[in-house]
A and B are shown apart, each in its own frame.
Chain A
Amino acid sequence: MTQARIPGPLIALAAAGLLLFLLPLAGLVVRAPWDQLGGELTAPETLTALELSIFCSLTATAVALVLGVPLALLLSKTTGTVRGLLRAVTTLPMVLPPVVGGVALLLAFGRKGLIGAPLNDAFGIQIPFTTSAAVIAETFVAMPFLVIAVEGGLRSLDPRYEQAARALGASGWRVFARVTLPLLRPAIFSGAVLCWARALGEFGATITFAGNLPGTTQTVPLAVYVALETKPQGAIVLSLILLAVSLAVLVGMHDRWLGEP
């Protein structure tokens, strides 16, 4: 097997692209107050934000799994215009500025929103400014990553396994649970990890829809923004934590999220 040679100029451009990613990271690492790291890490406000971030991002991923896998299934079985529309709606949060997403969430689930107003009138349920709102915002922004990954997995699935199971008399539900899901495991896993990483870094939709209150809606990215104004050292430490976690996840996944084994 011979490997195709990459032309020199392309390598130079690739290196420049890589530098664009690496330099900001280097900036964070170089400027980090390493001697204060322990103190900043165990500061109560850091721990509170971290705890909330982990809870919200994991919950958002769980919700995305429950809703996103069936959505991916639906996407993979539709064709033509319907599929185009479904796809557009599903991937919209990926390209929408998150702040716009947050405004849209307010107009839907806010006290005066489409769903939020009846909820408030009938049950006195108010979603904005609650931890639930932070979870909803993160799910809104992160679920598309899971749906796209799982849909990709479904498309590359050999349909003969499902056909065989059905021919042997299995019900639709049984085929899904016993054949489709197990075959999809790698795609679901990588989709869930990406979804979780995106949820962990969510800022714009959260601040707009859920607000900013320590212990309730102030996740790590929000805490970073606030700290940047008051104590930049703390902001750098929090940024490093997010960076380390995200990097560990992406390295740990190797190439799996590209659909390779």
Chain B
Amino acid sequence: MLRWLAVVAAGVVVACGSAPANGNAKAPSSVVVFAAASLQPPFDRIAAQLRTRDDIATTFNYAGTQTLTSQLTQGAQADVFASADTAHMTAAQQAGLLAGGSQLFAHNRLEIAVAKGNPKGIRSLADLARPGLVVVLADPAVPAGKYALQALAKAGVSVRPKSLELQVTAVLSKVALGEADAGIVYVSDVVTSGQVDGIAIPDGQNVIADYPIAQLQSAEHKEAAKEFIDFVVSPDGQSILKTAGFETA
């Protein structure tokens, strides 16, 4: 245990000692970001780039947007809020939590997640009503579940899901594990998971999720918060989001 601590301590010393060697005279700063769970893959990459480029350390709290909103309303301390829908961002604004306005930085559409190679031959939302097919959705309390119901309604399909999962990633893992034949998730989930195949949903039936981002009123690291948001909407940030399956704003 002691030896382990020593190793960590040595690592910290080395890391701190080498920082000025970058030639970057700026003192290291940090930023706390509350972000929707679906944003984790691109935001982790954005944080890594911010760290090397501007020496900004980012701390994330990834969770369902509805959970983040209630945490912020209850007084949680953060600098930036990135939401998976405009409804929760509007609620945050009305609660006086935002420093200014919010801006849309990405969109995400829905897709049907199926096992690799699509063994059940699923082609459309209508196929999800097929008897014997194990379909899993997110609970309507979760944005992804709400959107899935809207998409099914647009397609005029009535599905009897086997389970209403409490987060969209749980839908994905049930399909990836082979326990479910199909689930409705975000395109970005399919792209970053790599363990499932995605079946596109046509525009007429699809629902587009809008992702707004904003600096919080209570931000302690205002400058770093601004730099984080600027990076997300910059061409570099947008290209990272695009690689992760999002549509750019």
On A, residues with C-beta under 8 Å from B are: 106-107, 110-112, 126, 128-129, 207-208, 210-214, 217, 225-226, 229-230
Contact for B139 among A126, A217, A226, CB less than 8 A: A226
CB <8 Å contact, B162 and A110: no
Q: Please name the residue on chain B nearest to A110 by beta carbon.
A: B179
A sample of 11 cross-chain residue pairs with beta-carbon separation below 8 angstroms, ordered by A number, consists of: A107-B177, A112-B178, A207-B170, A211-B163, A211-B174, A212-B164, A213-B161, A213-B163, A217-B163, A226-B141, A230-B141
Using A128-B162, A211-B163 as known contacts, list a sample of 10 further A-B pairs with CB atoms less than 8 Å apart, ordered by residue number in A: A106-B179, A110-B178, A110-B179, A129-B179, A212-B163, A213-B161, A213-B164, A214-B164, A217-B163, A230-B141
Q: Which residues of A contact B67 (CB under 8 A)?
A: 229
Does B72 sit within 8 A of A, measured CB to CB?
A: no
| Interface size, B (range) | 20 to 34
Q: Taking each of B134, B174, B179, which has the highest tally of chain A beta carbons within 10 Å of its own beta carbon? A: B179
Assuming the contacts A111-B179, A112-B179, asked whether A129 and B163 have C-beta atoms less than 8 A apart, the reply is yes
Does B166 sit within 8 A of A, measured CB to CB?
A: yes
In the assembled complex, the CB of B137 is this many whole angstroms from the nearest CB of chain A, namely 10
CB <8 Å contact, A213 and B162: yes
CB <8 Å contact, B161 and A111: no
Task: Give CA–CA (A86, B170) in the complex, Å.
Answer: 33
Task: Give CA–CA (A222, B170) in the complex, Å.
Answer: 14
CB <8 Å contact, A225 and B179: no
Task: Give CA–CA (A39, B165) in the complex, Å.
Answer: 27
Does B77 sit within 8 A of A, measured CB to CB?
A: no
Q: Which 7 A-B pairs have CB atoms at the shortest separation, nearest pair first? A: A211-B163, A129-B162, A112-B178, A229-B141, A230-B141, A128-B179, A229-B66
CB <8 Å contact, A110 and B165: no
Contact with A along B42-83 (1 / 0, CB 8 A): 000000000000000000000010110000000000000000
Q: Which residues of A contact B142 (CB under 8 A)?
A: 229
CB <8 Å contact, A211 and B165: yes
Task: Give CA–CA (A111, B179) in the complex, Å.
Answer: 6
Task: Give CA–CA (A214, B161) in the complex, Å.
Answer: 11
Q: Taking each of B64, B163, B170, which has the highest tally of chain A beta carbons within 10 Å of its own beta carbon? A: B163
In the assembled complex, the CB of A128 is this many whole angstroms from the nearest CB of chain B, namely 5
Q: Which residues of A contact B166 (CB under 8 A)?
A: 207, 212, 225-226
Does B136 sit within 8 A of A, measured CB to CB?
A: yes
Within B120-176, which residues are at the interface with A (CB < 8 Å)? 134, 136, 139-142, 161-166, 170, 174
Assuming the contacts A110-B177, A111-B179, A229-B67, asked whether A211 and B139 have C-beta atoms less than 8 A apart, the reply is no
CB <8 Å contact, B139 and A129: no
Q: Please name the residue on chain A nearest to B160 by beta carbon.
A: A213
Q: Which residues of A contact B134 (CB under 8 A)?
A: 111, 126, 129
In the assembled complex, the CB of B75 is this many whole angstroms from the nearest CB of chain A, namely 15
CB <8 Å contact, A106 and B163: no
Task: Give CA–CA (A211, B134) in the complex, Å.
Answer: 12
CB <8 Å contact, A112 and B177: yes
Contact with A along B96-131 (1 / 0, CB 8 A): 000000000000000000000000000000000000
In the assembled complex, the CB of B77 is this many whole angstroms from the nearest CB of chain A, namely 21
Assuming the contacts A226-B141, A230-B141, asked whether A211 and B178 have C-beta atoms less than 8 A apart, the reply is no
Q: Which residues of B contact A225 (CB under 8 A)?
A: 166
In the assembled complex, the CB of A206 is this many whole angstroms from the nearest CB of chain B, namely 11
